[in-house]
Structure 1
Amino acid sequence: MIELRHDVAGDLVTVHVPETTEDLAEFWKWLYRARERGPVAIDTETTGLDVFSPVFRLRTVQFGDASDAWVILYERGGYHASYARDALIRLRGILIHNASFDWLVLGQSAGISLEDLAPWTTDTRILAALCDPRQPQEGGTGTALKPLSAKWVDPAAPDTQGGLTKVFNSLGFTKETGWAGIPLTNPTFLLYAGLDVVLTARLAPMLRRELARLDVRPELVTYEHEIARLCAVMQRTGLLVDQDYAAPLARRLAEEAEKHGAIAARYGVTSVGSPAQVAEALAAMGEPLTDRTNAGALKVDKHVLLPLADLDRDWQRIGARTPNPLAYAVLRAKRAAKWGGTYAERFMTKLSAAGRLHATISPLAARTGRMSVTDGLHQLPSSDHVIRRAILAEPGHVMVSTDFQAVEMRVLAALAKVRRMTEGFVNGGDEFDIHAYTAKLIKGGKATPRDRKVFKGAGFGKVYGGGIQTIARQTGATEAEIAQAVAAYDRAFPEIKRASSRWQRQAYQNGMVFISATGRRLPLDRDRSYAVVNYACQSAARDVLGQAMLNIEAAGLLEYCRLPIHDELLASVPKREAADIAREIERCMTMDLYGVPIVAHAEIGGRSWGSLYGADY
């Protein structure tokens, strides 16, 4: 038996590493005693983070409580692997930090499905996010185990992490390659592995007490664990990639990036990624650039370049000016390079042996609780089919995309109790267009499509916190027009401004924390308290999606779901049953929020996701 000792918050804890069957028998005795005392913390050490990679391996499985950790050398196989699997099956109270990852690891590498583990799991990462969802750059502690342990358990908790990195380097490994290459019985590696479960076991009761002190609803804790489980199921299923399409696409996008880069070079921009070069060349062409970064440099990001190229945020012509050829070339070159590298190439390099992309779905990614998806899928252009064409439904299936209809505005109407907006949603029918309704409400029968666009910008400005200048850039209208539109919007829907003031007052009285409709704590920045409307709406919209996902599982349709992305749920369904399943998903995503109908529309496509956006397959 290898035994390592370490001081944690003034207590000497022991990390046990069984080497023989007699040692494993001692682990078994401890496990039964620990199981009776309360939840047991578990963790894994692996060769990396890509659980579905053909070269991924599970190295160790750890079990622990506040004073003891047992590191089982799973990689040795035989009795070691057998004892670890049997122990996992017998636990009826589990603590894990970032449970989704370990659920997937143990399912993929140890044959213990997340359905067997999830009902017994408490995820300390979820508990921490519900105490304070802010990341370190936002003024919070974040949700990583070591910083949380440094705050709540022992300020010296991160020390072992630094020590392990030094060991990796001394052995000729990087931080990324060290996990696979370090010898299995390296003492620093074993100590690091064991201390993680000790820290998790100590962290859990402290976070529970903090949640009780903050009066966070227990139902919200349960709900977030359910959402994490649903996201993990979808991540495990993954997305089927059309490799015969994605590989040539990557090459074509590289050629396109080179072509438009050459055009930019004619205007003196040898690197489209150099803001200074782009700004200098645009200024020489007479373009007035005024936006600056915090460091004082002129901004030439997408939000600045799109209006100069006479394009809206969906890359559609605005018709407000003659497009600037340099701005257009820079945009096209950067987009092609990003699409080729971030999407097409990554789709190919991150494939599992089954030809699937298992993007990580993070259910608590943003401060508001909004979800995110890795591998660029969360940043796909809203109307483009080129990248989505690479994602396929199963053989014999078609893609179904079900999207909430104007959910941000519906949530705003519900939360702020906006009378005229609510009347429109209630009485407008299936084809109701809130932005056209707003334009007619304010401008009367003379309202034009351009008026609709301007008032849509004003409405989204309310929801997302965009200022006059930002809305003007996005719509192609002048700042004076937008200022008038926003003022008219406030007169038509005065409840929004009143709700914003009320919510800001409540947040000030609560230590700059706004409590969402579901009881979620949303910390506000003192210099951006106006963002409370954005936070309230985003958080409620996310929880509407979460409830819809639970409804879909209850209807027996979770197996078809592939991805929750923004306000859309993507599914792969049997072609013969597509109409019936689409109607059922619509039903599951339809609900009432404080008297405002939340409705969804399902669209049935072809074999690829891109078929829902104009692709021919």
Structure 2
Amino acid sequence: MQTFHHPVAGDRVTIRVPETTDDLGAFWEWLSKARARGPIAVDTETTGLRIYSTGYGLRTVQFGDAHDAWVLLYERGGEHAHYAREALRRCRDIHIHNAMFDWLVLDRHAGIPLENLAPVTTDTRILATLIDPRAPFGGGVGTGLKPLSAKWIDPAAPDTQGGLTAVFRSLGLTKETGWAGIPLTHPTFLLYAGLDVIFTARLAPILRAELERLSVRPALVPYEHTIARICAVMQRAGLLVDREYAEPLAGRLTEDAERYGAVAARYGVSSVNSSAQVADALTGMGERLTERTDSGAWKTDKAVLLPLADLDRDWQRIGARDPNPLADAVLRAKRAGKWGTAYAQAFLENADADSRIHPVIAPLAARTGRMSVTDGLHQLPSSDHIIRRAILAEPGHVMISTDFQAVEMRVLAALAKVRRMIDGFVNGGSEFDIHMFTAQLIKGAGATTKERKLFKGAGFGKVYGGGITTIARQTGAPESEIAQAVAEYDRVFPEIKRASSRWQRQAFQNGMVFISATGRRLPLDRDRTYSVVNYACQSAARDLLGQALINASESGLLDYCRLPIHDEILASAPREDATEIAREFERCMTTDLYGVPITADAEIGGRSWGSLYGADH
């Protein structure tokens, strides 16, 4: 038996590593007594982060309470693996930090279904997020185990990952190769593995007490754990990659990047990734750049180049000016290069043996609770079919996308009690268009599509917190027109400004924390209190999607679900049952928010995700 001791908050804790059958017997005796005393903290150490990659391995499984930890050497197999699996099966009250990862690891590599683990798990990361969802760069502690332990348990809590990284370097390993390459019985590796469960065990009751002290709505805890389970099931299912399409696509995108790069070179830009070269060339062409980076250089990011190329966020022509050929070429060269490597090639490299990728779904990614998906799938333009064409439904299935209809504006109307908006949503019928409705309120029955776009930008500026400059860039309209549109928007919908002022006052009285419609704590930045409208709307919209996922799961649709993307659910369903399943998804996503109908439309495509965006397959 290897044994380590370490001080934690004035206590001397013990980490044990069984090596013999007798040692494992001692672990079993401890487990029986510890289970009777209360929850058991669980953690794993693995060879990396990509759970479904070839050669991935589960190295250790840790069990612990506030004073003792046991690190079982799962990688050795035999009795070590057997005892770990049996312990997991017998634990009925578990604490895990970042549970989705460990659920999936143990599901895939230890044969313990996440459906068995999830109902008995409390995720301390979820508890911490409900207390303060801010990342460190946003003024919060973050949700990492080390900083949370340093704040709530012991300021001297070791940075386990940082300490291990130093060990990796001493062994000639990198941060990426170290987890697989460090010897299984390395003392630092084992010590830190054990400390993680001890910190998790100590953290859980402290966080629960803090949630109670802050009067966080208790229902949010089981709600978020249910959503985490649903997202883990979708991540496990993964997305099927069409290799026959993705391989030549990677080559075509490389060629496109080179072709547009050659166009940029004709204007003196040898590297489209050089902001200085692009800025010099654009100013030499007579373009006026207005924004600088913190270091004083001219900004030439996508937000700057799109309007110069007369393109909106979905890469559609705005019609506001003649496109600048250099801005257009730089944008297209960078996009083709990114798509070729970050998507087409990455899909091929990251696919498992069954040609599936398993993007990580983060249910609580943003301060507002908004979800995110890795592998860049949240950043694809809404009009794109090229990359989405590489993702397939299951054999014999078709893709279904069920999307909330104008959910941001419906939420804004409901939360701010915007009388005219609510009347439109309630009485406007199934074809009601809130943005044309707004344009007609302001400009009369003859309002044009251009005016609709203008007031759509003003409306989204309210929801997303965009200023005059941002809206002008996105719509292509002059700032003077946008300023006038926003003023007219406030005139016909005065409740929005009143709600913003009211919510900001409430936040000031609550220590700069706004409480969302569902009871979520949303800290505000003192220099950006106007963001309260964005936070209120985005948080409520996220919780509508979360409840829709729960409804879908309870209705037997979870096996069809593949991804939550912004305000939609992507699904793969048998072709012959697609119509019925699509109607059921619509039902699960249809509800009412303070008298405003929240509606959803399901679209049935073909075999590929791209078919929902114009692809022919």
Task: Place the TM-score, normalised by the shorter chain, in its bin.
Answer: over 0.9
Residue 509 of structure 1 aligns with an amino acid whose one-letter code is: Q
- Root-mean-square deviation (CA, aligned residues, Å) is 0.8
Distance 1:99 1:248 in 2: 38
Give the alignment of 1:362-401 within 5 angstroms.
Answer: 362-401=362-401
Give the alignment of 1:572-583 within 5 angstroms.
Answer: 572-583=572-583
1:484 is matched with: 484
Q: CA deviation at 1:304?
A: 1.2
1:433 is matched with: 433
- Residue 398 of structure 1: SS of its match in structure 2? strand
Distance 1:164 1:282 in 2: 47
Give the alignment of 1:228-243 within 5 angstroms.
Answer: 228-243=228-243
Distance 1:175 1:469 in 2: 41
- Residue 378 of structure 2: SS of its match in structure 1? helix
Confirm or deny that 1:177 pairs with 2:169.
no
Distance 2:412 2:338 in 1: 34
Distance 1:241 1:368 in 2: 31
Residue 105 of structure 1 aligns with an amino acid whose one-letter code is: V
Residue 594 of structure 1 aligns with an amino acid whose one-letter code is: Y
- Residue 69 of structure 1: SS of its match in structure 2? strand
Residue 274 of structure 2 aligns with an amino acid whose one-letter code is: S
Residue 378 of structure 1 aligns with an amino acid whose one-letter code is: H
Residue 509 of structure 2 aligns with an amino acid whose one-letter code is: Q
1:333 is matched with: 333
Distance 1:609 1:279 in 2: 37
Confirm or deny that 1:410 pairs with 2:422.
no
Q: CA deviation at 1:296?
A: 2.2
1:130 is matched with: 130
Distance 1:262 1:160 in 2: 48
Distance 1:542 1:64 in 2: 35
Confirm or deny that 1:539 pairs with 2:558.
no
Residue 554 of structure 2 aligns with an amino acid whose one-letter code is: A
Q: CA deviation at 1:166?
A: 2.0
Residue 454 of structure 1 aligns with an amino acid whose one-letter code is: L
2:311 is matched with: 311
1:90 is matched with: 90
Distance 1:322 1:229 in 2: 50
- Answer yes or no: is the 8 Å Cα contact 1:260–1:333 preserved in 2: yes
- Answer yes or no: is the 8 Å Cα contact 2:146–2:160 preserved in 1: no
Residue 162 of structure 1 aligns with an amino acid whose one-letter code is: G
Q: CA deviation at 1:295?
A: 2.5
Distance 2:324 2:233 in 1: 47
Distance 1:65 1:441 in 2: 63
Q: Deviations over 1:151-200 (max 9, x none)?
A: 11111213443332222111111111111111111111100100000000
Distance 1:484 1:497 in 2: 16
Q: Deviations over 1:308-344 (max 9, x none)?
A: 1111111111111111110000010011011111111
Confirm or deny that 1:12 pairs with 2:12.
yes
Q: Deviations over 1:379-423 (max 9, x none)?
A: 011111000000000000000000000000000000000000000
Residue 444 of structure 2 aligns with an amino acid whose one-letter code is: G
Residue 271 of structure 2 aligns with an amino acid whose one-letter code is: S
Residue 237 of structure 2 aligns with an amino acid whose one-letter code is: T
Residue 607 of structure 2 aligns with an amino acid whose one-letter code is: R
Q: CA deviation at 1:430?
A: 1.1
Q: CA deviation at 1:291?
A: 1.5
Confirm or deny that 1:615 pairs with 2:590.
no
Give the alignment of 1:346-357 within 5 angstroms.
Answer: 346-357=346-357
1:151 is matched with: 151
1:606 is matched with: 606
1:465 is matched with: 465
- Residue 444 of structure 2: SS of its match in structure 1? helix
Residue 512 of structure 1 aligns with an amino acid whose one-letter code is: M
1:342 is matched with: 342
1:62 is matched with: 62
1:76 is matched with: 76
1:220 is matched with: 220
- Answer yes or no: is the 8 Å Cα contact 1:216–1:520 preserved in 2: yes
Q: Deviations over 1:109-139 (max 9, x none)?
A: 0000110001100000000000100001111
Q: CA deviation at 1:251?
A: 1.0
2:550 is matched with: 550
Residue 476 of structure 2 aligns with an amino acid whose one-letter code is: G
Q: Normalized against structure 1, the TM-score is what?
A: 0.99
Residue 336 of structure 2 aligns with an amino acid whose one-letter code is: A
Q: CA deviation at 1:293?
A: 2.0
Residue 498 of structure 1 aligns with an amino acid whose one-letter code is: R
The count of aligned residue pairs is 617
1:23 is matched with: 23
Gaps of 5+ in 1: none
- Residue 247 of structure 2: SS of its match in structure 1? helix
Distance 1:357 1:166 in 2: 31
- Answer yes or no: is the 8 Å Cα contact 2:42–2:64 preserved in 1: yes
Range with bigger deviation, 603-612 or 5-14:
5-14
Residue 567 of structure 1 aligns with an amino acid whose one-letter code is: D
1:299 is matched with: 299
1:244 is matched with: 244
Residue 77 of structure 2 aligns with an amino acid whose one-letter code is: G
Gaps of 5+ in 2: none
- Answer yes or no: is the 8 Å Cα contact 1:147–1:158 preserved in 2: no
Q: CA deviation at 1:149?
A: 0.7
2:164 is matched with: 164
Distance 1:424 1:297 in 2: 46
Q: CA deviation at 1:469?
A: 1.1
Q: Deviations over 1:407-458 (max 9, x none)?
A: 0000000000000000000011111110011101111112000000000000
Q: Normalized against structure 2, the TM-score is what?
A: 0.99
Distance 2:596 2:478 in 1: 33
Give the alignment of 1:43-54 within 5 angstroms.
Answer: 43-54=43-54
Residue 494 of structure 1 aligns with an amino acid whose one-letter code is: P
Give the alignment of 1:96-135 within 5 angstroms.
Answer: 96-135=96-135
2:257 is matched with: 257
The sequence identity of aligned pairs, in percent, is 76
Distance 2:603 2:77 in 1: 48
Residue 213 of structure 2 aligns with an amino acid whose one-letter code is: R
Q: Deviations over 1:210-267 (max 9, x none)?
A: 1111111110011000000000000000000001111111111111011111110111
Distance 2:291 2:190 in 1: 52
- Answer yes or no: is the 8 Å Cα contact 1:17–1:71 preserved in 2: yes
Distance 2:311 2:465 in 1: 21
Residue 446 of structure 1 aligns with an amino acid whose one-letter code is: G
1:449 is matched with: 449
> Displaced runs of 4+ in structure 1, greater than 4 A?
none
Distance 1:166 1:430 in 2: 60
Relative to 1, partners in 2 of residues 1:160 and 1:468: Cα closer, same or farther, differing over 3 Å?
closer
